[in-house]
Structure 1
């Protein structure tokens, strides 16, 4: 069977690698892909927003399965587009319909869903430009820190943690009045700051049954010690030490089960991944957000730990066999370190030649994100450029291998964090 992966990041590179390894997968295609995905699949230079061209490609190359890595295509309704066509609806889509994708596409919708189905989350209110004065008054009486979020998709950069009223007011002005993220910030969600430690939990579900994937913890801030601006992700660790069986049972009972029950009650079909961003608050899980696809950089940490055939897992999803699927997971720790362009997440320069990839040990995985082949040179072509993943019997062993490999990969002004996993050496204990 031929498979098309939609997206161009390190997540899609990791998915391409796993599908390339499958005994059941004939050919892998990636649209639009990057310089790294070309090693495991054929690159198709198609914009992820161009559903008509993607449909033509799927027909021309006998695509039978599409794995949607990128959230934009899901929120824009790629699943619905293929389902609505007689000659495309036979294609298996890994990713929810537009209705299900609202869980990521609108934070206001998601928070309302939490409230309706008693899923633990932070207290919140939503505001628009028309209720700007109410938002200011709400912030004036709010406790700090406060969390301010653009309602729509903002590439992982639409969340501001304001330490005081002045910072919150600046963020509100930037999002609502200056439209920093365009339509995505036409609404703003203001919520309480939860004190705890984050973890990302993933399931693959058909809307009723699900398979629980390895959990991970990612690191969003650009600077050491979790300082500076939010990014798309600077690294990840899997498994997470404080995620005990007892903690995970709470996640299943309080979050996963009511979420699937809510989707069924709302008549929202769902076939794909669900990323559950959690905060461990004194041993209790609170949901920060949902994503309707695999996370990045978490994917680069969790997929290398999955020993089961990924294509077989996707087939089980569409044959409604997830309840009996036994996922085999490597017990070792995976550590992922992301190398980014200097200046990211704000302004940065592209076209800088990348060197040192040939020095990376064979047992360390290198996933391309913002890379491009320029003649015989590999150059940076984005903010987050390369993810390096290593496995080890301990977290420290995995980190040592990942950091050593990261150091060998260089280009002008490249940056990476040396402290991924720093907070897990003395983790918050889950009860």
Structure 2
């Protein structure tokens, strides 16, 4: 089977690496890919949101399956595009329909969905310019801190946690009247702040049945000790030490089951990943957010731990027989550390040469590329998050140490990475 994977980040390199090892995969194409995915298949100069270009490529290359990595093409309706095109209908696309992708594409939609299906989450209100003054009054009376979320996609930057009422009102005005997040901020969700520790749960569903993949915990803050501004993710650990059998059982019964059943009850076509951001408050799980795809950099620890053939899993999704599948995972701990460009998450330079990638890797370590490109045989930086190193070990400390040792041999101007990923478990 010829497979097309859409995307260009570290998540896509990890998926490409996993798919390349499948007995079902004859040829793997990645659009547009990066310098790392080129080692797993063939990169294609094609945007994931160029649906017409994707259609032509699928016909030309006789593609048998499409896997969508990032959220944007899903929210823009690529699954519906395939489903309504007579020439593409026979090609399974791993990902939800446009309506299903609203779980990530609209914070207000996901909150209402959770309300309808009694899924535990923080209390909230939504506001727009139509009830702007009501929102100001609500904020002035709200307990602190206050969480403000842009309703739509904002490249992972649409969430602001305000420590006082003046800051909250100013951010609210910036979102709704100052166009801070563009169209994504035309509606704002104001949410209760929950105190606890976060983790990510990954579900793969065929619309009727589901399987739970290895869970992970990622680290968003750029600075060590979880300080500084939020990023797309500076590292991840899997499994999560505090996610014991009792806690995971609560997540399954109170969150996963009603989510999958709720999608089916509402006749929402959903065949793909459901990323559930969980916060543990005391001993109870609450949903922070849904995403309609795998997380990044969590994919870079989840895929190495997953023992199943990924293409076979996706085929089971397409044929709605996930109830016949049993997930197998490596029991060891996997840790990934992300190396970023100098200045990230602010402005940064691109096109810097990367050295040290040719160094032999220790056993049980992997390098996944994120923001890289190949030019005249040389690997260059091409994004804020450049690459990451994932390593297996018996303890978090050993896994972090192993990944850090590999990164110390890799260099480019301004390279930075956190040395304390998994710090609370070390």
Which residue in 1 is equivalent to 2:412? 411
| Equivalent pair of 2:207/2:320 in contact (CA under 8 Å) | no
Which residue in 2 is equivalent to 1:155? 155
Which residue in 2 is equivalent to 1:428? none
Structure 1 residues 20-35: aligned runs within 5 Å? 20-35=20-35
Instruction: Give the ranges of 4+ consecutive aligned residues of structure 1 lying more than 4 Å apart after TM superposition.
Output: none
| Equivalent pair of 2:3/2:64 in contact (CA under 8 Å) | yes
User: Displacement, 1:424?
Assistant: 2.8
Which residue in 2 is equivalent to 1:402? 403
User: Displacement, 1:41?
Assistant: 0.9
User: Displacement, 1:131?
Assistant: 2.3
Counterpart Cα distance in 2 of 1:129 and 1:351: 42
Counterpart Cα distance in 1 of 2:176 and 2:184: 10
| Equivalent pair of 1:240/1:424 in contact (CA under 8 Å) | no
Which residue in 2 is equivalent to 1:192? 192
Which residue in 2 is equivalent to 1:381? 382
User: Displacement, 1:360?
Assistant: 5.2
1:353 aligns with 2:353: yes
Q: Does the residue aligned with 2:302 lie in a helix, a strand or coil?
A: helix
Structure 1 residues 29-428: aligned runs within 5 Å? 29-359=29-359, 361-363=361-363, 364-425=365-426
Aligned residues: 425
Instruction: For structure 2, list consecutive stretches of 5 or more residues without a partner in the other structure.
Output: none
Note the alpha carbon deviations across 1:109-132, whole angstroms, 9 max, x for none.
Answer: 000111111100001111112322
Counterpart Cα distance in 2 of 1:204 and 1:122: 24
Counterpart Cα distance in 1 of 2:23 and 2:362: 22
Counterpart Cα distance in 1 of 2:207 and 2:285: 21
User: Displacement, 1:362?
Assistant: 4.3
User: Displacement, 1:170?
Assistant: 3.0
The TM-score normalised by the length of structure 2 is: 0.98
Counterpart Cα distance in 1 of 2:351 and 2:62: 35
Q: Does the residue aligned with 2:268 lie in a helix, a strand or coil?
A: coil
Counterpart Cα distance in 1 of 2:333 and 2:168: 38
| Equivalent pair of 1:360/1:405 in contact (CA under 8 Å) | no
User: Displacement, 1:400?
Assistant: 0.5
| Equivalent pair of 1:360/1:408 in contact (CA under 8 Å) | no
Note the alpha carbon deviations across 1:94-115, whole angstroms, 9 max, x for none.
Answer: 1011010010000000001111
Which residue in 2 is equivalent to 1:11? 11
Counterpart Cα distance in 2 of 1:326 and 1:338: 31
Note the alpha carbon deviations across 1:229-285, whole angstroms, 9 max, x for none.
Answer: 111111100000111111111111110111122112211111001000000111111
Counterpart Cα distance in 2 of 1:403 and 1:126: 43
Q: Does the residue aligned with 2:408 lie in a helix, a strand or coil?
A: helix
C-alpha change, 1:174 and 1:327, in structure 2 (3 Å) is same
RMSD: 1.1
Q: Does the residue aligned with 1:28 lie in a helix, a strand or coil?
A: strand
Shifted more, 132-141 versus 15-24: the winner is 132-141
Counterpart Cα distance in 1 of 2:203 and 2:398: 27
Counterpart Cα distance in 2 of 1:193 and 1:90: 45
Counterpart Cα distance in 2 of 1:344 and 1:279: 26
Note the alpha carbon deviations across 1:24-56, whole angstroms, 9 max, x for none.
Answer: 110100001111100101011111111000010
Counterpart Cα distance in 1 of 2:9 and 2:292: 16
C-alpha change, 1:360 and 1:347, in structure 2 (3 Å) is farther
| Equivalent pair of 2:32/2:47 in contact (CA under 8 Å) | yes
Counterpart Cα distance in 2 of 1:200 and 1:360: 32
| Equivalent pair of 1:159/1:230 in contact (CA under 8 Å) | no
| Equivalent pair of 2:210/2:260 in contact (CA under 8 Å) | no
